[in-house]
Structure 1
Amino acid sequence: MRICTVTVRAGSKGVPGKNLRVVAGRPLFGHSVAQAAASGLFDEIVVSSDSEAILALAPSFGATRVVVRPPEMATDTAGKVPAIAHAVRATEERTGKTFGVCVDLDATSPLRTVDDIRGAVAMFESADVDSLITGAEARRNPYFNLVEEQPDGTVAVSKAPDDAVLRRQDAPRCFDMNGSIYVWKRESLLDGQVVFFPSTILYEMPAERSTDVDSEFDFAVVEWLMNQRSDL
């Protein structure tokens, strides 16, 4: 069985109230919930939040359950993974179901498509791994043109290659995590409560579907891109 969570905090420093701001006809968080529902993959779609308004709206976009996010998991410094694990455990306790595959869709990454969700889950389920993340090929490569400041103020390539890399195309491929889709084995999520394991794999997405809303500029970019799309 599969469960999808969308964990949505009420607060945000970068873009106040961003999860309830309307973009392309829905509150920002509503797109992730609707995409989960449209994928047809999940036995439960759960929205976890400390916001009464978000919890009240969630079923209208396809959530099958809502979970109140504990205050200590909704602070500016709280990690997201414990809130995901809490939502999964709470749903299992309420339903008596056990979910072997746990998926989280980030509420601030609405540019993914339903096919991205299906592709990521299919890739995960075809591999014997603990977790999967999504990302886009990085514009800067730490072996070639991403530099790191040294203690004396000089800079050097972040990852010194064994042999000189004269072209970016010759450097190992690197990716920017886009925070869009996370997939775990149940035990790995609940016991480890981390994203990365030795077996973690990546599902690649294009840059145009990889912007995460963390600033007003990001919101403007996402709004413009979503208004160009016909699959919403």
Structure 2
Amino acid sequence: MAEGNINNIESPILLGIIPARGGSKGIKNKNLRKVLDKPLIYYTIKDALSYKKIYKTIVTTDSLEIAEVAKKYGAEVPFIRPKRLAEDNTSMIEVLKHALMKCDQIYSLKINGIVLLDPTSPVRKKDDINEMIDIFIENRPDLVVAATKSKRNPYFNMVKINKSGYAQLVLKGNFVRRQDAPPIFDITNNCWIFSRQAILRGWRIPRKTIACETDGLYIDIDEEDDLKFFEYFLKSRKRK
């Protein structure tokens, strides 16, 4: 999206937001850990910059070190996130609301939506994300999420423990085969697209949510083995 034409278009103004706090559980300085000689956050910044319908790619961080690295690879860091919004119990909606209001003020425009790209879920297909953006623009929902078909189904083979200590199906249904149960999807973290309204009202999964089925591998990096697997994935992709 060309910045010079921002006032002459009808399409919503979308910000790409990459959240990357300095303190990380499990893997220390996770967002800056090197994978094939590049920090982990680089791979999501590179992706975000390739989506033409995203107006700007912003990294929201409380870390000056992450801010410098993010700017080196082409992202903008127009503000440093307050420490109160970088705690273990800080909700992502709070982080997005802060980013939305700051960018409204800094860039003197009204942001219509935020494309949330998690740097710890670095594997995403460009076509999938572009499709999600198009769905958001065409339908104007409160939220578009990336989702994959779940291998388990609460109507068929997922149980909870009741007060008597016995296992029972999570959802009741007279289904003999899993194929007969309603399809269930797992939400992934590689892309969420929120409307302005959903963010300001603090909605995590609002009523007008569209799940966009995406294909391919999904990696959520929480442990050292996840980093190793991501590196293996990148090497194998280079060989193709």
- With normalisation by structure 1, the TM-score equals 0.91
Q: 2:44 aligns with which of 8, 32, 38?
A: 32
> Which residue does 2:7 correspond to in 1?
none
Q: 1:78 aligns with which of 72, 83, 90?
A: 90
Cα–Cα, structure 1 residues 86 and 105, in superposed 2: closer, same or farther, change >3 Å?
same
Task: Indicate if the aligned counterparts of 1:102 and 1:184 stay in contact, CA closer than 8 A.
Answer: yes
Task: Indicate if the aligned counterparts of 1:44 and 1:65 stay in contact, CA closer than 8 A.
Answer: no
> Which residue does 2:109 correspond to in 1?
97
Cα–Cα, structure 1 residues 73 and 159, in superposed 2: closer, same or farther, change >3 Å?
same
Q: Superposition pairs for residues 130-145 of structure 1, below 5 Å? A: 130-145=142-157
Work out the number of aligned pairs and report it: 227
> Which residue does 1:50 correspond to in 2?
62
> Which residue does 1:156 correspond to in 2?
168
Residue 192 (1) aligns with residue 173 (2): no
Unpaired stretches in structure 1, ≥5 consecutive residues? none
User: Counterpart of 2:146 in 1: which secondary structure?
Assistant: strand
Residue 222 (1) aligns with residue 234 (2): no
> Which residue does 2:188 correspond to in 1?
178
User: Counterpart of 2:87 in 1: which secondary structure?
Assistant: coil
Q: 1:16 aligns with which of 17, 28, 44?
A: 28
Task: Indicate if the aligned counterparts of 2:149 and 2:183 stay in contact, CA closer than 8 A.
Answer: yes
Where do 4+ consecutive residues of structure 1 move more than 3 Å?
A: none
> Which residue does 2:179 correspond to in 1?
169
In 2, distance between residues paired with 1:165 and 1:222? 38
Q: How far did residue 74 of structure 1 move?
A: 0.6
Task: Indicate if the aligned counterparts of 2:16 and 2:57 stay in contact, CA closer than 8 A.
Answer: yes
In 1, distance between residues paired with 2:100 and 2:238? 33
Q: Deviations over 1:183-228 (max 9, x none)?
A: 1221221x212221111111112251x2211223333332222322
Cα–Cα, structure 1 residues 24 and 167, in superposed 2: closer, same or farther, change >3 Å?
farther
- With normalisation by structure 2, the TM-score equals 0.88
> Which residue does 1:65 correspond to in 2?
77
